[in-house]
Amino acid sequence: MPRYEVTIEKDACDGIFACLTRDPRFVEGADGLAKIDPGADPVYDCEGSVDDDAERVVATFDDDRLEEARQAATACPTDAIVVEEVDG
């Protein structure tokens, strides 16, 4: 399975939340911007690490849901989400 990172750039996120309809791991944060919560998916047990700082949210996953993350990134009208495969 691929290992990949999902990054949300907070400055670019406008809280439109098109990503939420493509991947249930995306949720609305208290600040009105998109966040990533691996446990938010009601169907799949999902594990991942999430780093959230003042500039961005970066989540790393090692599962078979890369395409869902890519669809969420594609749906973002402000291009705030980047999905990249990473090594080991």
Question: In terms of residues, how long is the chain?
Answer: 88
Nearest to 6 by CA among 16, 22, 32, 15: 22
Long-range contacts of 45-54 (CB under 8 A, 24+ apart): 54/10
CATH match for 3-85 among 3.40.50.300, 3.40.190.10, 3.30.70.20, 1.10.3720.10: 3.30.70.20
pLDDT at 2: 82
In angstroms, rounded to a whole number, what is the distance separating the alpha carbons of residues 25 and 63? 13
pLDDT in tens, 7-55: 999 999 999 999 999 999 999 999 999 999 998 988 887 788 999 999 9
